[in-house]
Amino acid sequence: MAAKPTKKSAKKKAKAKNTKVKKAAAADPVIYKGLAGVTVDTTEVSKVMPETNSLTYRGYAVQDLAANCRFEEVAYLMWHGELPTRAQLRKFEKDERSRRNISRPHVEVIRQYPKRAHPMDTLRTSVSYLGTTETAWGGEPAEKDLDRAMDMLAKIPTMIATDYRFRKGLPRKTPRKDLTMSENFFHMCFGEVPPKEVIRAFDISLILYAEHSFNASTFTARVITSSRSDIYSAVTGGIGSLKGPLHGGANEAVMHNLKEIRTPARAEKWLRDKQAAGELVMGFGHRVYKQGDSRVPTMRAALEDLAKWKGDTKWLEISDILQNIMVSEKNIHPNLDFPAGPAYYLMGFEIDMYTPIFVMSRITGWAAHIIEQNASNSLIRPLSAYSGKKQRKVKAISKR
């Protein structure tokens, strides 16, 4: 019978095990390409449950939030951990509405952006510009981050809409305090507020896009925060990551594809050609969900409502053909970007506005994670396995 382990022997054993792990790590480390399947930290912000295709923000199912809340309530939830009371929401909205204006110099910076620049690039620059207007670096403590986050939540829609109007050669529309965030965004872009069907679908999209645990852009923001950098740098980095077509940029790619397909009759051939060329079909697949994205049914319903309201079901019909083949033959399911792309199209937005709209929403999740990372920080610094040239001697330039 083995001797009962004492505290001392257990310590010795653990030390030996540790040394073994380190040796193994040095000699032949396991590589987790893309960090797939690796859990790097805990979070209280949201929970993705691929086994049940579900997602909760602070314990509330996204479908439940989308059915019963406005986006502002979800933003409050993200930052305060609880849904607001009426009085709390009133105060939150009053604060948000009072911060929507951007400074005159900022308007002039936006006016200078090249007219052909992608709106994600101009938005990334605008958020970075906002960071230059306060001396956050090295000085201001992170406790002010909630205040800075509120400023970004309020100003990002204004930055996007102002840039949009200037690109079109139109005068800017200043924000209105009597409108919700969604209504005001339409007003600032188009000079009018659309019917409630459109506002509701837009609001639902913002709720669904708000947060999704350690996705690429949120992780980027957490990595930047982990070096004790500032929130503007973290959000700027998040925008850079979100822009990629494998992440947020997919909502734009989806609509480009649907427009390229043009008619339902052309959909199957288009897809077969893509598959034959070994190309990705944008709006399908997910790193975590392998049996369907929890957010899709809610966004799909909003898209159906919009299509009916607009009397334009063509994009839905094309989408269905693609989806049926991808699911039945490849078991690859659509992600949120798949219904969101055509929904934004039916709302009247130009395609390059879709990912900036995603930012309007995801700023809530990013900020919650930045605050969480700061509160319990450990520098994020993984290891790498060197696969380059063996160490060698430098030859003086005269001998090379």
CB 46, min distance to ligand COA, A: 15
CB 182, min distance to ligand COA, A: 22
CB 215, min distance to ligand COA, A: 8
Q: Give ∠ CA 210-212-213 in degrees, rounded to 5.
A: 130
CB 269, min distance to ligand COA, A: 16
What torsion, rounded to 10 degrees, do the Cα atoms 352, 356, 358, 360 define?
A: -150
What Å distances lie between residue 297 and 62, 86, 223, 293, 338, CA to CA?
A: 11, 29, 32, 8, 11
* Binding track, positions 232-251, relative to ligand COA; x by CB under 6 A: --------------xx--x-
**Count of residues in the chain:** 400
Catalytic residue among 286, 293, 352, 369: 286
Q: Name every residue whose Cβ is closer than 8 Å to that of residue 159 and which is 6 or more positions away in sequence.
A: 102, 106, 110, 122, 123, 126, 127
How far apart CA 247 and CA 182 sit, in angstroms, is 23
* Binding track, positions 132-161, relative to ligand COA; x by CB under 6 A: ------------------------------
Instruction: Give the 3-state secondary structure of residue 284.
Output: strand
Contact yes or no for 108/224 (Cβ under 8 A): no
337 an active-site residue?
Answer: yes
CB 363, min distance to ligand COA, A: 18
- C-beta of 175 vs 285, nearer to ligand COA: 285
- C-beta of 130 vs 357, nearer to ligand COA: 357
- C-beta of 283 vs 365, nearer to ligand COA: 283
β partners of residue 327: none
How far apart CA 296 and CA 320 sit, in angstroms, is 13
C-beta nearest to ligand COA: residue: 285
Contact yes or no for 199/309 (Cβ under 8 A): no
Q: How many residues lie near ligand COA (CB under 6 A)?
A: 14
- Output the six-digit token pair for 57: 């923000």
Interface of this chain with ligand COA, residues 301 to 340, rule: CB under 6 A: 332, 335, 337
286 an active-site residue?
Answer: yes
Residue bearing tokens 């090295």: 138
Q: Does 31 bind ligand COA (CB under 6 A)?
A: no
CB 248, min distance to ligand COA, A: 8
- Output the six-digit token pair for 290: 């392998």
- C-beta of 3 vs 276, nearer to ligand COA: 276
Among 198, 282, 347, 371, binds ligand COA (CB under 6 A): 282
Instruction: Give the binding range for ligand COA (CB under 6 A) out of 78-86, 155-163, 222-230, 282-290.
Output: 282-290
* Binding track, positions 381-400, relative to ligand COA; x by CB under 6 A: --------------------
Among 285, 341, 356, 365, binds ligand COA (CB under 6 A): 285
Please name which of 61, 50, 65 lies closest in space to residue 333, comparing C-alpha atoms.
Answer: 50
Sites of contact with ligand COA (CB under 6 A): 246-247, 250, 280-287, 332, 335, 337
Residues with catalytic annotation?
286, 337
